[in-house]
C-alpha cells in the first residue's frame, strides 16, 4: 500500500531571502525528512493552470510555505484548489524565534541553513499532525 501523500508548496520567491528559506526548507522535507509522504507542486505551473497540479491540491492535503506576508502559495492554492491544511509563513517565524534574516538570498550561510532546517522541522510537525489526524 502506498503512503498517504501531502503536498508541500513553497512560494519559491527569488526576490527575497525568505523565499530561499522556504524553498530550501521544503526541499529538506521532500528529500530527507519525509520523502515517502510528501510531493511538491511547482507553484508557477500550478498558477498557469496545470490540471494535474490543481487536481492534486484539490484532493490531497497541502501545506503552503510562504516567504513573506504576500502569501502567494497559500492564496494560489486557496484560489484554485481549496483551503490549505496548514500554512507556514517564514517572515512570521523569524521574529518569533528572534532570528535575523540571512544576508544572501542566493547561498544560505551556516545560520541560514540552520534556520531552513528549523523551518523544515515546523513543516514536519504539520505533516505528522495531518497524518495522525488522518485528514
Contact residues toward other proteins (CB under 8 A) are 10-16, 19, 23-24, 26-28, 31, 40, 42-45, 47-48, 50, 70, 72-73, 75-76, 105-106
Closest approach of other proteins to the CB of residue 23, in Å: 5
Closest approach of other proteins to the CB of residue 128, in Å: 21
Closest approach of other proteins to the CB of residue 77, in Å: 11
Q: Would you say 55 or 129 has its CB closer to other proteins?
A: 55
Q: Hunting for cell 526576490 — which residue is that?
A: 15
Cell of 86: 496548514
Q: Would you say 34 or 105 has its CB closer to other proteins?
A: 105
Cell of 6: 501531502
HSE-CB for 104 with a 13 A CA cutoff? 8
Q: Would you say 38 or 130 has its CB closer to other proteins?
A: 38
Q: Is 3 exposed, middle or buried (0-12, 13-18, 19+ CB in 10 A)?
A: exposed
Q: Would you say 53 or 122 has its CB closer to other proteins?
A: 53
CA distance 30 to 34: 6
89 and 71 Cβ atoms separated by less than 8 Å: yes
Amino acid at each position: 500500500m502506498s503512503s498517504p501523500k501531502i503536498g508541500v508548496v513553497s512560494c519559491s520567491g527569488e526576490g527575497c531571502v525568505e523565499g530561499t528559506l522556504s524553498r530550501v526548507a521544503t526541499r529538506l522535507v521532500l528529500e530527507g525528512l519525509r520523502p515517502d509522504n510528501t510531493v511538491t507542486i511547482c507553484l508557477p505551473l500550478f498558477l498557469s493552470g496545470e490540471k494535474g497540479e490543481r487536481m492534486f491540491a484539490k484532493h490531497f492535503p497541502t501545506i503552503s510555505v510562504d516567504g513573506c506576508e504576500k502569501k502567494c502559495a497559500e492564496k494560489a492554492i486557496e484560489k484554485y484548489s481549496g483551503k490549505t491544511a496548514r500554512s507556514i509563513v517564514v517572515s512570521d517565524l523569524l521574529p518569533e524565534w528572534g532570528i535575523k534574516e540571512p544576508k544572501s538570498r542566493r547561498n544560505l550561510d551556516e545560520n541560514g541553513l540552520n534556520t531552513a532546517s528549523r523551518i523544515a522541522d515546523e513543516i514536519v510537525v504539520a505533516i505528522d499532525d495531518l497524518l495522525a489526524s488522518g485528514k
